[in-house]
Amino acid sequence: MVVIGQVIMNRVNSPKFPNTIKEVVSAPKQFASIAQISKVKDVSKEAMTAAEAAIAGTAEPILPNIFYFGKPEVYEKVPGHKSAIYKQIGQIYFFTDKLFK
């Protein structure tokens, strides 16, 4: 959970992306579940703690300059994906560069 928050904050702090959390998560074809999230009324304490840590920049692991992530079954179909992977955490790949242009 925290690492997704870090990706969002990396985008907010980058001139390549919108500069607010709301604009980043609601950008077209990004964070597909945001429509579902907007309907959530109760947020778990764990989710709040993760979000606060990501916003404050105090969370581990710190993923500087990581702007993209996705599930292996999507990215494994993209040529060159292995050289672009910065890190795999659980079932999610994290990338510095966009693989889908």
**pLDDT tens over the chain, length 101 residues:** 688 888 888 899 899 899 998 888 888 777 766 555 556 667 788 888 888 888 888 877 677 788 888 777 777 777 766 666 778 888 888 887 665 55
Predicted model pTM: 0.74
pLDDT of residue 37: 57
Q: Distance (Å, rounded) from C-alpha 7 to C-alpha 17? A: 11
Tokens read off for 99: 């693989």
Q: How far apart are CA 10 and CA 39, in angstroms?
A: 25
pLDDT computed for residue 98 by the predictor: 62
